[in-house]
């Protein structure tokens, strides 16, 4: 389960801001949802969106808010750092996309704030030309890349081929491994986050380390 925090910046929902007419994007609403998920012990995915008018300090405050709730409840299994991409026929259709340097800076700062144990993701299809550079900035996850379905939120941005993703990941010194929607640390050797029946179903699909049985070989051919 998940919900993007996007930003804690109040300026974004002020008059003329990108979230002016989006009450569900108010920071207090999204932070409350994130806190309730922690109280209910739901493994949760959240993240921030950059390039929509927020400042660097806004991003830091947003990441600190996520880190604070995770420190209290231990339930934030993944944090997405997502770059804004302009879409036609929207209020920000002519706005510039997030700059690569700002994106890299934010990923690196997120790793420093969230710590070495955090799972940090950048969607590779939204930075198709050079997505591998974010491995060096601190990410350890590519998100829900699918060989079968498009990115339904960003259908104009196709997923990279798994062969290309594997090649670039390994060239950067890492190993590409398919995972389940629930990260290993939230069901292996713990009963804090999943009901027994669900934990058994998840475990049946996982190898000894909590990743998908069969690894990348499942997707060859």
CB-based burial, 88-106: b 16+ in 10 Å, e otherwise:
eeeeeeebeebeeeebbeb
DSSP-H helix ranges across the chain? 27-39, 56-73, 100-114, 133-137, 162-171, 196-204
What is the pLDDT at residue 221? 58
Residue position matching structure tokens 């994130």 = 34
Edge-to-edge strand order for the sheet containing 44-50?
44-50, 76-83, 120-121
What is the pLDDT at residue 5? 97
User: Which domains are assigned to the chain?
Assistant: 10-176 (3.20.20.70), 183-221 (no CATH)
Q: 47 φ, ψ to 5°?
A: 170, 180
What is the pLDDT at residue 60? 98
The answer to whether the pTM exceeds 0.85 is yes
For residue 8, which of 52, 71, 72 has the smallest C-alpha distance? Answer: 52
- Encode the chain (221 residues) as per-residue pLDDT tens digits: 899 999 999 989 888 888 888 899 999 999 999 999 999 999 999 999 999 999 999 999 999 999 999 999 999 999 999 998 878 877 777 777 789 999 999 999 999 999 999 999 999 999 878 999 999 999 999 998 988 899 998 888 999 999 999 999 999 999 999 999 999 999 999 999 999 999 999 999 999 999 999 999 888 75
Angle formed at CA 144 by CA 139 and CA 95, multiple of 5 degrees: 75
């Amino acid at each position: 389960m998940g919900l993007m925090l996007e930003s804690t910046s109040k300026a974004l929902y002020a008059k003329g801001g990108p979230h002016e007419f989006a009450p569900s994007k108010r920071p207090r609403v999204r932070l409350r949802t994130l806190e309730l998920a922690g109280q209910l012990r739901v493994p949760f995915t959240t993240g921030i969106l950059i390039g929509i008018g927020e400042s660097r300090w806004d991003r830091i405050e947003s990441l600190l808010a996520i880190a604070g709730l995770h420190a209290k409840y231990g339930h934030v299994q993944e944090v997405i750092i997502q770059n804004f991409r302009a879409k036609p026929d929207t209020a920000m259709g002519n706005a510039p996309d997030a700059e690569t340097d700002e994106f890299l800076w934010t990923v690196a700062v997120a790793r420093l704030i969230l710590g070495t144990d955090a799972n940090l993701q950048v969607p590779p299809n939204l930075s198709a030309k050079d997505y591998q550079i974010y491995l060096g900035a601190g990410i350890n996850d590519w998100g829900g890349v699918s060989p079968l379905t498009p990115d339904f939120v960003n259908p104009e941005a196709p997923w990279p081929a798994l062969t290309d993703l594997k090649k670039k990941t390994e060239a950067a010194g890492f190993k590409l491994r398919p995972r389940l929607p629930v990260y290993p640390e939230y069901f292996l050797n713990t009963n804090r986050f999943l009901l027994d029946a669900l934990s058994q179903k998840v475990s049946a699909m996982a190898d000894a380390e909590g990743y998908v049985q069969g690894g990348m070989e499942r997707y060859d051919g």
